[in-house]
Structure 1
Amino acid sequence: MEQTSSIQRRIVPLLVAIGFLIAGAIGGMAGFSLAGERGAGTSAVSSPIAAPAEVQALPVAEMQATTVAGQVYQRYGEAVVDVIARTSDSFFDRHGAGTGVVIDQRGLIVTAAHVVEGTSTVEIRFATGERVSSRVLGTDEANDIALLRVDRLPAGVPVAVLGDSDRVQVGDVVVAIGSPFGLSGTVTQGIVSAVNRSWNPPGGRLRTGLIQTDAPINPGNSGGPLFDARGEVIGITIMIESPIRGNVGIGFAVPSNTVKRVLPQLEQGAQLEPAWLGISGTDLDVEQARRFGLSVDRGVIVLSVVPGSPAARAGLRPAQASGLDIAQLGDVIVAIDGQPVVGMQELAARIGAHQPGDTVELTVLRDGREQTVRVTLGRWPK
């Protein structure tokens, strides 16, 4: 939804851009049709069988741990919906499927932006099987979040609570509910395996600030909630890392506090886009600083500048490479808007607070001297 030599790490290009764009590895837009309604299922009744004497009952604490997913599902399972998006061209109708979660009694539903991208019709299917049309109020492509609204909620549908993702810790139990491969109402449980995770998907952009989990997430889970043990939504699942287009234990979610931050804009109809700087770079470290006689040992070495990009128009200078190594430095970005930058992660996150058209001031080391370069950020190329 990894180990390289120190030299290789220095030249791995990471495109600096705002936000967290659509990851093709997981997707609500995967083209899976939803295969069935969410229902109560069936149960088998069997005669009681005496347990062997050596079998002991689980301690109460363990019993409670094993029922976290069940407790969350019983309380908020019906707040989770199927999002069915249809697009049409001159020849074909296509549809994709993802997941969403009801967050407001007024009919507001959060899902992933890539689930509804380019759609002409969005249909919501509730746990009861009832289907209603919805409107896309706003989207945030940078964080891969969309806000939908239905005119009414079916009777009895609960409203999920957006929790405080800043309180999330590694090892916390989490529960994902969604429609992987069209299997509505699927519940999986795991733990938070990392917080504030940065990840650069193949062919994509560097994303920062993500919650990583080993709770099984698959295509169709996109846009669904990641609950904590209290039943609060602490993230919206958006992507996985996998070589096989299926779960291998590494999934990512946008933190709930990020969602809460953009919701007011989305409700007003905002179509937020990721901005683009147009460089690739690598972290400056102590070894490189000594080698090139720099006065600082933290920052971003500019490795390449995309022709025609905002960085190119601003005159940023890339390093010159010799084989797999850097032969001569170009610009080293050490601050943005007067605040120091430690490395690529921080640079991407700090630019992530901006929109296309915003102007930022980059402090760079050029030929051993500090200079200020003003850059007007552009839109990330489609």
Structure 2
Amino acid sequence: MSNGWFESVAEAQRRARKRLPSFVYGALVAGSERGNTLRDNRAAFDELGFAPRTAGQSDKRELETRVLGQRMSLPVIISPTGVQAVHPDGEVAVARAAAARGVAVGLSSFATKPVEEVVAANPRTFFQMYWLGGRDDMLRRIERARRAGAVGLIVTLDWSFSHGRDWGSPRIPQRLTVAEALRLAPGSVTRPRWLLAYARTGRLPDLTVPNMAEAGAPAPTFFGAYGQWLATPPPTWEDVRWLRERWDGPFLLKGVLRVDEAKRAVDAGVSAISVSNHGGNNVDGAPATIRALPSIAEAVGDQVEVLLDGGVRRGGDVVKALALGARAVMIGRAYLWGLAANGQAGVENVLDILRGGIDSTLRGIGRSSVHELDRSDVVIPPGFERALGVAETEPAAVARETATPRILAEVND
């Protein structure tokens, strides 16, 4: 279509691949090591089916919900992703798209746009933090987010940034200097629309991270901030509790895959958890998030809000996650492909696709609201679930001990 509209997230991905230089696109689709977890995030959704109803459906369906205190037009949140070099407007375009479609946005500490600009574009902005630097450093970032007007905090713990990728990981430079631009030129000139978009701004893609800048100091590069993260000892549960006590608003802990850790998160006082494996970019071999979701939602879903991220590509995927206990899902690659394909309008397009898919799935299974969904709406094959961190004496462990290993198909994410 003349306006660049597309009808599926798969088409957005195809256009993104066609538009982006290989070193940019490769960074979007990469996963740790062999990519087993990356592929399973997607493949696991395909193993689940639906139990449709054929008559008596409501002619109107309710998609609205409330997540972390925010009223949302659909149960989808923009997940924070760093260094959005797929489009010059980056996180600001994404925030505007989310605001236009009535959903919240997460902003990464490693974003290329400052939190103040993103909050101005979408007042429903959650600021994401890694455990990085000392406690004084953490407090400075919290205060900046608070002053900017962020409505909540996302603390991400599911990241180890594996360099070992069997298919090769694209090199990301410290700064995109003229020399680096010349080195990357062969891959860029074959993608003239991406290059032209940046040429019109009069600047090269920015690989600095302004939300990590100290007062009066220049913003560090992505890898400068990454180096500081590497030098920081991993947080303890006491650190999580300490950080939560310094933020009096909604607090989401991202990266939980185990029941015992979900319970520790509740004890630490978090408002919500996201069942996450960082989109397959943490430990390769971790289960797909949708496999781990049911046992976690069953254990703590009555105490905190449970979200899910990883592998969501269709409205039907959102419905499956909600049926298995999630309050909402977070999307990452899907909206980045939309951003690459058509800027802000492309992100809005992706959200509209998910909205349409949720609505049509609800109609097909005879539900009038996302709040009515439960396990009876999905067909779960034997051995599908993975209950991690459950004592062997607990019923959930016994119920799931029939889970059998399976060979992951070599499919593209």
Return the structure number with greater relative CO, CA threshold 8 A, min gap 6: 2
> Larger helix proportion, structure 1 or 2?
2
Give the TM-score, by structure 2 length.
0.20
Give the TM-score, by structure 1 length.
0.21
**Which of these two proteins has the greater Rg computed from alpha carbons?**
1
